[in-house]
Amino acid sequence: MPTLPTEAQADLVARRVLTSRLGLRPRENVTIEVYPSSLPWAAGFVRQARRLGAYPLLHYEDESSYWQAVDSGNASIVGTPGNHEWAALEKTDVYVYFWGPEDQARYHALPESTASKLTSFNRHWYEIAGKSGVRGVRMGIARVSEENARFWGVSLARWRKEVLAASLRDPETLARDAGRIRRALARGSELRIRHRNGTDLTLGLAQRPPTVFLGKVTPKSRGGAAGTMASVPDANVLVALAEDTADGTFIANRPTLIPGPSLRGARWTFEDGRLARADFAEGERSFQRRFAAASAGKDRPSFIEIGLDPAIHASPTLEESERGAVTIGVGGNSRLGGKTKCDFLSYVTLAGATVSVDGRPLARAGRIV
């Protein structure tokens, strides 16, 4: 399967996203931010925006120029947009962002100080987008490339097929399952996760309102700090856990690829509501360094997330959206509706688990009940 899309594929993805996920209306302003390899996809959004009667503006980021700036010590310039860019955002109704930079291996190898300079604009960007009423999406298909497939060790053809299918999906087809899971998590008290790999973990629920992510901006999502942007594809239900209940073992069988260095082969053991031990086949040194430096609350259960998308099985950075996959986090959850204010957050994912709330099954061996 070729890496680049045909014009028909690009147009189909663009039209589905602009209509079913963004609700684009005639005469609206559409800004499309893109790096070189995703330009054929972005061109589809330009064409379809015009066909829908809207006004597209293509914001092109050159990959080689990006890395030249980093190498020459100008990362802070990259992370500080000019007033003309802010002005364009203020006049934008719909924003489509194709992830960049493209070279994920190089990006993940950057020192934390450099990476933070490159994204220093983030908070201000979301403030302006929120005030301007922007509704937007981050296109995961931008990460699907030969270089990134080699970096993450997956089949490019399979990865591309999965992300394409999930991106074309009408999110409303998953709304019923999302609603059932949301209600169970909102009303329950105790959640149990089991798997034949040795996982058996009991967590507490605190009757908090879960958040449903289906790859579209909704009036409810706008209330969050980054609620003006959704990810495509994205399909899961998340809720902040009770911070004082966690006992047992959780053994991940999916990697955690972002943020920071990859975590693989995770085995977390909880005792009396705290993470007592964390072992990894890969990434342990990085985790332990961050964990040791973190503030109080770093060992408390943070959130649980249950995936919904049947197309996702081997797609890097989308592991938590796999149908029936269970993701748990430790650390801060105050921004997710919990009580723990902590500068540390980490998470790991298990596919194929059996999940029950107050003894009633939500999933059996990874299949949504």
Show me where the domains of the chain are located.
7-168, 173-212+234-368
Side-chain half-sphere CA neighbours of 75 within 13 A: 16
**Which whole number is the average pLDDT over 307-330?**
96
What percent of the chain shows pLDDT beyond 70?
A: 98
- Predicted confidence (pLDDT) at residue 31 exceeds the cutoff of 80: yes
**Which whole number is the average pLDDT over 45-72?**
97
Contacts of 2-6 with C-beta under 8 Å, sequence gap 24+, read: 3/37, 3/144, 3/145, 3/146, 3/156, 3/160, 4/40, 5/40, 5/41, 5/44
Amino acid found at 290: R
Q: What is the pLDDT of residue 223?
A: 63
Q: How sure is the predictor about 258, in pLDDT bands with cuts at 50, 70 and 90?
A: confident
- Predicted confidence (pLDDT) at residue 224 exceeds the cutoff of 80: no
- Predicted confidence (pLDDT) at residue 319 exceeds the cutoff of 50: yes
Q: What is the spatial distance between Cα 168 and Cα 20, in angstroms, rounded to a whole number?
A: 9
Q: What is the pLDDT of residue 1?
A: 43
Q: How sure is the predictor about 4, in pLDDT bands with cuts at 50, 70 and 90?
A: confident
Q: What is the pLDDT of residue 226?
A: 66
- Predicted confidence (pLDDT) at residue 18 exceeds the cutoff of 60: yes
Mean pLDDT, the chain, whole residue set? 95
Q: How sure is the predictor about 316, in pLDDT bands with cuts at 50, 70 and 90?
A: very high
**Which whole number is the average pLDDT over 227-237?**
94
**Which whole number is the average pLDDT over 325-353?**
96
Amino acid found at 335: R
What percent of the chain shows pLDDT beyond 90?
A: 93
Reduced to 3 states, what is the DSSP secondary structure of residue 240? strand
On the question of a cis peptide bond just before residue 81, with omega within 30 degrees of 0, the verdict is no
List all residues 6 or more positions away from 61 whose beta carbon is below 8 Å from its beta carbon.
33, 34, 35, 100, 101
pLDDT digits 0-9 by tens, 78-110: 999 999 999 999 999 999 999 999 999 999 899
Nearest to 318 by CA among 170, 174, 139, 63: 139
- 172 token code pair: 């409303």
Q: How sure is the predictor about 225, in pLDDT bands with cuts at 50, 70 and 90?
A: low
Reduced to 3 states, what is the DSSP secondary structure of residue 286? helix
Q: What is the spatial distance between Cα 10 and Cα 41, in angstroms, rounded to a whole number?
A: 5
Residue 21 main-chain phi, psi, to 5 deg: -110, -30
Give the DSSP letter string of 32-53: EEE-GGGHHHHHHHHHHHHHTT
For residue 298, give the H/E element and its range.
Answer: none
CATH H superfamily, domain 7-168: Thermophilic metalloprotease (M29) (3.40.1830.10)
Buried b (16+ CB within 10 A) or exposed e, 56-74: beebebeeeebbebbeeee
**Which whole number is the average pLDDT over 53-67?**
97
Residue 211 CA: distances (Å) to CA of 7, 218, 222, 227 = 35, 11, 12, 11
List all residues 6 or more positions away from 232 whose beta carbon is below 8 Å from its beta carbon.
17, 21, 137, 138, 139, 140, 141, 167, 215
